[in-house]
Amino acid sequence: MNNIPEVKIGIAAVSRDCFPKSLSETRRKAVFAEYKKNYGEIYQCETIIENEKDMLCALDELEKAGCNALVVYLGNFGPETPETLLAKNFDGPVMFVAAAEEDCGSSLCDNRGDAYCGMLNASYNLALRNIKVYIPEYPVGTAEEVAKMISEFVPVARGIIGVSDLKIISFGPRPQEFLACNAPIKRLYDLGIEIEENSELDLFESFNKHAGDERIPAVIADMENELGEGNKMSGILPRLAQFELTLLDWAELHKGSKKYVCFANKCWPAFQTQFGFVPCYVNSRLTAKGIPVACEVDIYGALSEYIGTCVSGESVTLLDINNTVPGNIFKEEIEGRYDYTHKDTFMGFHCGNTPACRLVTKTMKYQRIMHRGLEPDKEPDITRGTLEGDIVSGKITFFRLQSTADSKLRAYVAQGEILPVATRSFGGIGIFAIPQMARFYRHVLIEGNFPHHGAVAFGHYGKAIYNVLKYLGVESIGFNQPKGMLYKSENPFE
């Protein structure tokens, strides 16, 4: 994917001047060796930071090395001012970790570093300066343990860097009947995101200018190859290919000062009558390339998808938390086979925007709901363009970042799975199971005023996504609390 950052991480060791500098250096080298052996490349800052001049030297060294994420490593107690100023002045996400003491035989004397203590003072000084950093759940460890912590920081750093250099491009006003997607965008600017809002006329004009584009046949061939036997409506592919090139060209021409881009586009009802198709399949293809396209001008949905793409490094999707699982399907296919109650399950659905690689079988179809209203008594034409099929089973993370009406950031993250059970329905759809979903639905989704759209990452990425949201300053992050852990508003006598 070329629309997400490549993280180049650096590790800089700090040392309080009353401790031997060699202790931090030796321990840093051990972390470097463990990381390189188990996880890959990391830049080792040669400057050991004892004072503010060292801090400036280290910053220069890290910048010349091209590092965009930093690990501040307390090899011993650490100098409180220089280490926190390093975090303040570094241009990128920063992680703080500390060294555990090594085995000492019968004595613990000259090789004792007291970084366990130093981490406390570091956190206090970071707060004094309002410096935001990532600190692992338990940030003190051996070289092997610290290397693992750094590996878990990489996807978090990728999400933070991506958001800070992101432009969200939208087309069309947010729909009247989907006011839940019409959240205030002020907080997006606070996160460093740029927004470019355009008219559907701008998109329509650009689409028409791409008529006859010499690249269209190659895109059609790629679509045919992807669809295979599911290419049931080949006549619509030229229009879809023309639209795909329109969006890709717009993204490249309108990034401006930002490196990364995603879309939130109007997709009904006038879209079909003017463009002559539904854009779902094209949305799925761009999302598979790492350029999420959210339906119904859902700007926060697009951002959520992009965070999931950065964290996972893979394609995601955006689905409606849509309908309950019919009782007969639950009894016939789920009950007794999986450790879920009926209320733990639901169907996640959207018209056809899920990437082909995430579907069991992929078929080009038409949007049934729109067909009823726009061309009910004829063969589908302008409502063609959905990519349909059951979504592949496996682990998932369902999540969303949203602004409240009074411009406060709120989010939720829940891990679960898609069950290998046929949905017997249409669209891009799957049967989801999330432990304690009924309580989560009531006390997080409903009470938190979250809209129907949720982003889906294909794997258990809750830990990293939660840490990205926390780093971004999200005020409230809900999750599916286990049984026995009451929500604040939950009736204990229920």
DSSP string of 248-296, one letter each residue: HHHHHHH-TT-SEEEEEE--SSHHHHHHSS--HHHHHHHHHTT--EEGG
Residue 3 lies in a domain: no
Q: Could you give the percent of the chain with pLDDT greater than 70?
A: 97
In a domain, 119, yes or no: yes
Is the model more confident about 181 or about 239?
A: 239
Q: Does the residue 24 lie in any domain?
A: yes
Q: Among 157, 187, 216, which residue terminates a domain?
A: 157
Of residues 289, 272, 318, the one with CA closest to residue 172: 272
CATH of the domain at 122: 3.40.50.10940
| pLDDT at residue 409 in the model | 95
- Say whether both 335 and 364 belong to one domain: yes
The rounded distance, in Å, linking the Cα atoms of 136 and 376 is: 56
Is the pLDDT reported for residue 458 higher than 90? yes
- In this predicted structure, what is the pLDDT of residue 109? 59
Confidence check: pLDDT of 175 > 70: no
Give the pLDDT of residue 127.
Answer: 95
Domain that holds residue 143: 9-157
Strand pairing of 166-171 and 260-265? Answer: parallel
Structure tokens at 242: 């023309």
In a domain, 486, yes or no: no
Residue 177, token pair as written in the block: 């009947």
**Average pLDDT over every residue of 217-221:** 98
List phi, psi (to 5°) of 386.
Answer: -85, 150
**Count of CB atoms situated within 10 Å of the CB of 80:** 17
Q: Please state which of the ranges 49-58, 91-100, 262-271 shows the lowest mean pLDDT.
A: 262-271
Q: Verify that 260 and 397 share a domain, yes or no.
A: yes
Name residues whose C-beta falls within 8 Å of residue 34's C-beta, 6 or more positions apart in sequence. Answer: 143, 144, 146, 147
Q: Residue 154 and residue 358: Cα distance in Å, rounded?
A: 25
Q: Is the pLDDT of residue 1 over 90?
A: no
Q: Residue 35: is its pLDDT beyond 90? A: yes
Domain boundary among 129, 157, 185: 157
Examine residue 401 and state whether it is found in any structural domain, yes or no.
yes
Domain count, the chain: 2
Are 214 and 354 in a shared domain? yes
CA torsion through residues 313, 67, 300, 385, sign = negative
Residue 289: how many CB atoms within 10 A of its CB? 15
pLDDT at 107: 47
Q: Is 180 exposed, middle or buried (0-12, 13-18, 19+ CB in 10 A)?
A: middle
Does residue 41 share a domain with residue 66? yes
Residues 46 and 67 in one domain: yes
Residues 176 and 135 in one domain: no
Note the pLDDT tens digit of each residue in 410-448. Answer: 999 999 999 999 999 999 999 999 999 999 999 999 999
pTM here is: 0.96
Distance CA 100, CA 138 (A): 11
169 and 153 in one domain? no
Per DSSP (E only), the strands in 295-336 are 316-323
What's the whole-number average pLDDT of the chain?
A: 94
What mean pLDDT is predicted for residues 191-205?
A: 96
Helix-helix angle 143-164:299-312, to 10 degrees: 150
pLDDT higher than threshold 60 for residue 493: yes
Write a three-state SS string for 391-422: ECCEEEEEEEEEECCCCCEEEEEEEEEECCCC
pLDDT score for 373? 79
Is the residue at 494 inside a domain? no
pLDDT surpassing 70 at residue 217: yes
Going by pLDDT thresholds of 50, 70 and 90, the confidence category of residue 77 is confident
Give CB contacts under 8 A, 24+ apart, made by 205-213.
206/246, 206/249, 206/250, 207/242, 207/243, 207/246, 207/275, 210/242, 210/243, 210/245, 210/246, 210/249, 211/242, 213/242, 213/245
In angstroms, the CA 297 to CA 203 distance is 13
Residue 62 lies in a domain: yes
Q: Are residues 15 and 51 in the same domain?
A: yes
* Same structural domain, 88 and 133: yes
Q: Which of 135, 157, 179 is the last residue of a domain?
A: 157
- Residues 378, 445, single domain; the answer is yes
Q: pLDDT tens digits for 117-173?
A: 999 999 999 999 999 999 999 999 999 999 999 999 999 999 999 999 999 999 988
Residue 263 β-bridge partners: 169, 293
Is there a single domain that holds both residue 188 and residue 48?
no
* Domain membership flag for residue 334: yes
Residue 138, classified by CB atoms within 10 Å of its CB into exposed (0-12), middle (13-18) or buried (19+), is: exposed
Percent of the chain exceeding pLDDT 90 equals 86
pLDDT of residue 475 exceeding 50, the answer is yes
Mention every residue, 6+ apart, whose C-beta is less than 8 A from residue 409.
187, 401, 402, 403, 472, 473, 474, 475, 476
Do residues 300 and 425 share a domain? yes
